[in-house]
Chain A
Amino acid sequence: MLLIHSLSLINKCRKFPLASFCWVLALGCSQQTNVETALNEQVLHFGLGSEPQHLDPHLATSVAAHNILSALLEGLVSEDPKTLKPRPGVAKSWSISEDGKNYIFLLRKNARWSNGDPVTAEDFVYSFRRILNPDLAAPYASMLYPLKNARTYHQGGISWEKADVGAVAIDAYTLSLSLENPVPYFLELLNHYSWFPVHQTTIEEFGAFEKIGTGWTKPKHFIGNGPFHLSNHQINSVIEVTKNQHYWDKESVRLNGIRFYPIDAVFTEERAYRAGFLHLTQSVSADRIDFLKARHPRELHFEPYLGTYFYRFNLKAPPFNDKRVRLAFSLAIDRQRLVDKVLGGGQSPATSFTPPGTGGFQPVPKFEYNRKKAKALLKSYLKEKGLEKLPPVELTYNTSEGHKKVAEALYGMWNEVFDVDIRLLNMEWKVFLSTIAKGDFTLARAGWIGDYVDPHTFLQMWRSGDGLNMTGWENQEYDYALQQAENSVSQEKRWESFQKCEDLLADEAPILPLYFYVHHTLRHPTVQGWHPTLLDHHPYKYVYLADERRP
């Protein structure tokens, strides 16, 4: 059919070649770009970076999923667009007990699901119970562990009632949450999608309480309570959301819709932006920064991002089972030169593991550059072991030009200080992940993006035996300091304990922090109400499109 149609088209074109050429030309030229039409339509065209694996908040694990779920769902609290501090969401107000362990949320009565059903305290309890249900195997269930007894219930073998999890609906519009420990960042934590509610009737209808892949998140079925509802999802093409008329604060929502495009090829995304197809890109290639700085200075944005790029040492095998070698490798790196000369994208050198300013915490810079000390430490190690020089060291990273550049630069820096053979070993992503998880490495690249704005999201992973530690480093003093921080209410005491953790990381050097991430993005000047935030969260209800040149 298609063939016949195209043949007849070709036939027509043959008769009127000039006319058809002009027609095609006119067709092309007359089309307005997305960015031009968006000003009237108030539709944001959003470069999503990649296709999210799940649109189920209890199974999602990606930044892409966050970007969509924060449009479709709303938690107990929402975020301030500039500071990300908690603002009323489904809960219109809340009170906190003196010991910081009990929260009472008063839910607004006009909060509605996208089908008109009221959002109740019971919905939240049901949702917390679902994500913690061991049979669902939710990857982010541990985000709810601050809730009292949540861990006990999640680890299985005990019913919800018996476990007595600290989430109780006092009445339809009053929710009580009790915590294991005081968690000063608890309200911010509620903005992670793992805490978002799901529509009970829909979940039950699809049998999705403990099952993956039931199809309830497809556009015809998805019921949300956020400012937008899901209207279209074509995999690898577009995810479209339109304004939710049942949203309690719909008067504040100025956008009529958002179209998310999962363009994962970074050059294609930039091309799409420059052609007026997108309002904003998810990222920008490091190689293009100089060009874009010159050509689109007002549209290229460097925004701090809550993440650390680092290397893991394997402490279970020589030579990095010796602290001196680890410290020597760390001290020999000029991080400032790395960010200035090699990366050049506005990153800042990592002299601690937690990015400075995370939740107000300012770690003392401990990872320093000291060639003399590095040389001396390695010399003492070699002397003790009776070695002339270090045996070759393997540096493993996942295949990428960016990682290679950093690895090569470090190779150079180490060889400026001492004589060492580094074998750069690049691996395909999944091979890399399984190799690291098995502990089959000597020195390996890693990165960590914070889940919430508190040092805890960075420092908890170095606890002895933590699944994310993977270095083999175990330190009781560290575990104790972390525990202290977790149990304290006073900010001063928490900072003190976190600093103790940072000191131990720098003294023992199981890891090698290199730089703090920066988020590079292209953003069209017509996008208003969009502010740089550490987690790259941008509550959509404050976003709108306006041509600032117009009066």
Chain B
Amino acid sequence: MKRLIFFRLLQAIPTMWVIATLTFFMTRFAPGGPFDAEKAIPEEIKIKMEAHFGLDRPLLEQYFIYLHNLLQGDLGPSFKYPEWEVSELIATAFPVSLTLGTFSFIIALIIGIPGGMIAALRQNTWMDYLPMSLSMIGVCLPTFVLGPLLIFALSNQLAIFPPLGWYRPSDWVLPSLTLGLFYGAYITRLTRAGMLEALQQDFIRTARAKGASSWRILTQHAARGGLLPVVTFLGPAFAGLISGSFVIESIFFIPGLGKFFVTAAFNRDYTMVLGTVLFYASLIITLNLVVDLLQAWLDPKSRQSR
């Protein structure tokens, strides 16, 4: 296990380097620059501003300076908001996205796993059709439709929850629900498929023949194998959830990471783009490692193959 962790972390180094390099050059080759504006600033001022951010140096030199600073953990100041360091902005936005992501994740699991299990156990009955139809609607309904619908129902009509903002815990409910329902729908379908396959295995029949209760069969025998596809999905899904969602953040006016991610690209905020991409990449790498460890624990076969 320790070897696995060690080697995976070792692999992460070249991966991060490739991502940093690709992102660096892709942002620089995109047309337009951070200081272009409708009220165009005079050329000589633009040159001075570029010099201030080191953009007047040759591109390769800029790249090596960036890597050098990166190794020391310095992501540089944001081009769009020069008063703030990129790391400072990520540090203020990430807790927001983490909270939103965690709650959505819990909601998705609470809905998805029991829903999928019931559907699998009662295949081809109304208890299968109902959650499957609902999950199909959930999968098809984008968050920018679901969000305003929930706001309309629970905020405008019933006035239970605030429609937007991120100031009080009651503000957390609607965005978490919107994201949670969306992901929950996926998890329901994945759980059902995985469980159906597991329930048809020989060892389940054996367990039934031995007189094990259906609860015991479900939790002790089928769930471990049946949830494998769900676990594989959960790693990247959790990374996606906690790294922020631009759509949800725009609908609910939440100061999360997703907004920085997208607007940084629009603003050609080079350092912010790199900062958010690298942060997201390291999240994905870490969570994929966690998933692998979980899978090794759930599935003896995958443990051996490693």
B-contacting residues of A (Cβ < 8 Å)? 2-3, 6, 10, 24-25, 27-29, 31, 51, 53-56, 61, 134-135, 137-139, 141-142, 155, 212-215, 217-218, 234-237, 261, 263-265, 267-268, 271-272, 274-275, 277, 428-435, 437, 446-447, 467-468, 470
For the side of the interface on B, what is the size category? 35 or more
Structural contact, A429 and B83, CB atoms closer than 8 A: no
Residues of A within 8 Å of B52, CB to CB, are 137, 212
Number of A-B contacts (CB under 8 A): 138
A38 to B67, CA, bound (A): 50
Q: B291: CB under 8 A from chain A?
A: no
Contacts of B185 in A (CB 8 A): none
Cross-chain contact B103 with A275 (CB below 8 angstroms): no
Asked if B39 contacts A468 (CB within 8 A), the reply is yes
Query: What's the nearest-Cβ distance from chain B to residue A69, in Å?
Result: 14
Whether A268 contacts B251 in the complex (CB less than 8 A), given A213-B83, A277-B163, comes out as: yes
User: What 1/0 flags go to B61-89 for Cβ under 8 Å of A?
Assistant: 00000000000000001001111100001
Given contacts A6-B102, A215-B83, contact A431 B32 (CB under 8 A): yes
On chain A, the residues within 8 Å of B14 by CB distance are: none
CB <8 Å contact, B160 and A24: yes
Rounded to whole angstroms, the CA-CA distance of A275 and B155 in the bound complex is 8
In the complex formed, the residue of B with least CB distance to A268 is B253
Q: Quick check: is B166 within 8 A (CB to CB) of the other chain? A: yes
What residues make up the interface of B, taking CB atoms closer than 8 Å to A?
A: 30-33, 36-45, 48-49, 52, 77, 80-84, 89, 92-93, 98-99, 102-103, 106, 148, 151, 155-156, 159-166, 168, 170, 173, 250-253, 255, 259-260, 266-268
Cα(A141)–Cα(B40), bound, Å: 13
- A434 and B36 within 8 A (CB): yes
Which of the residues A138, A431, A446 comes within 8 Å of B31, measured between beta carbons? Answer: A431
- A261–B252 CA distance with the chains assembled, in angstroms: 12
* Choice from B33, B102, B170, B252 contacting A434 with Cβ under 8 Å: B33
**How many angstroms between the C-alpha atoms of A235 and B255 in the bound complex?**
7
Inter-subunit contact B45/A137 (CB<8 Å): yes
| Chain B residues with CB under 8 A of A217 | 83
Q: How far is the CA of A217 from the CA of B250 in the complex (A)?
A: 26
Taking A217-B83, A235-B84 as known contacts, 8 extra A-B pairs with beta carbons closer than 8 A to each other, sorted by chain A number, are: A10-B106, A134-B48, A137-B45, A139-B37, A265-B253, A277-B164, A430-B30, A431-B31
Residue among B38, B98, B267 with the highest chain A CB neighbour number at 10 A: B38
Q: In whole angstroms, what is the CA distance A237 to B252 when docked?
A: 11
Cα-based distance from A139 to B82 in the complex (angstroms): 14
Name which residue of chain A comes closest to B166, CB basis.
A237
Contact between chains at A433 and B92 (CB < 8 Å) = no
Q: A217-B83, A268-B253, A428-B266 are in contact. Are A235 and B163 (CB under 8 A)?
A: no
Q: Is the beta-carbon distance between A277 and B81 smaller than 8 angstroms?
A: no
A467 lies within 8 A of B42 (CB) = yes
Out of A6, A27, A468, which one reaches B40, CB within 8 Å? A468
Contact A53 B81 (CB under 8 A): yes
In the bound complex, residues from chain A placing their C-beta under 8 Å from that of B103 are 6
| B82 touches which of A155, A213, A237 (Cβ 8 Å) | A213
CB distance from A143 to the nearest CB of B (A): 11
Residue in chain A with minimal CB distance to B163: A275
Whole-angstrom CA separation of A81 from B42 in the bound complex: 33
Contact at B48–A137, with CB atoms within 8 Å?
Answer: yes
